[in-house]
Amino acid sequence: MLKKTMSNFRLAALGVAVAGSMAMTQHVVAAESKEELRVADSEESYTDGVEVEASATVASAYLWRGTDLGSGNGTPAISGDITASTAGAYVGIWGSSGDAALGAEYDLYIGYGGSVDEFSYDVSLWTYMYPGFDGADSLGEASDIVISVGFGPVAFTYYDSLQDSRAYYTLSAGYEAFSGTVGYHDEGVEDDTYTHIDLGYAYNDNLSFTVS
């Protein structure tokens, strides 16, 4: 997910992640009368196409946009999320530990995405909250609009801060178990920019490594 934000390329700790997911299941209600059957049909129509997914991750460091947000010596981070989606629209919450400066983080997001053949797109709004940090502990005090377009395994993503002139851009690609991302930070101040490269390898669905 999205988090906070030094120069050029640096080697960060390897991130080791374990993740799992679950999906909502729908239940058919047995009806003894026509009235009960109409109620059951209404409940099924309301939840038809809605999918709820959740995941949890344990990492050796909170690696965010090329920067280790821990104490610098590989502070472990635990994160999790839950997302509800239907017909391309989604809403959810993501939380994590491991940020040595701002403390625990909770992100709320809402968006819409889809694909046509090999072309994909996604637009979302994110707000980041840090209950233990004054000035970023309330809804809307730190937010981004995120726009992403992709073609096949290649994607370009643009993050625009709603509070100031900061922006972040990424170009990413993947091939089988390997992935790579080039990220560029524009802090809105002259000479206050940097670029990073992330290289990743997914050993399996539950274990991955990243060097930045």
Query: Taking the chain (212 residues) in consecutive chunks of 10 residues, what is each chunk's mean pLDDT?
Result: 36 35 34 39 56 92 84 81 96 92 90 96 95 72 94 97 92 96 86 88 90 86
d(CA 162, CA 168): 12
Q: How far is CA 129 from the centre of its chain?
A: 14
Give the pLDDT score at 74.
67
Give the pLDDT score at 85.
96
Non-local CB neighbours of 198 within 8 Å, separated by 6+ positions:
63, 66, 179, 180, 181, 183, 210, 211, 212
Q: Nearest CA to 63 among 132, 107, 3? A: 3
Sheet strands (E) in the chain = 22-23, 51-59, 63-64, 67-68, 77-86, 89-96, 105-116, 119-129, 143-151, 154-161, 167-175, 178-186, 193-204, 207-211
- Helix (H) or strand (E) holding 51, with range, is strand 51-59
Q: Nearest CA to 150 among 116, 200, 112, 198? A: 116
The answer to whether 95 and 80 are in contact (CB under 8 A) is yes
Q: Nearest CA to 93 among 134, 55, 136, 131? A: 55
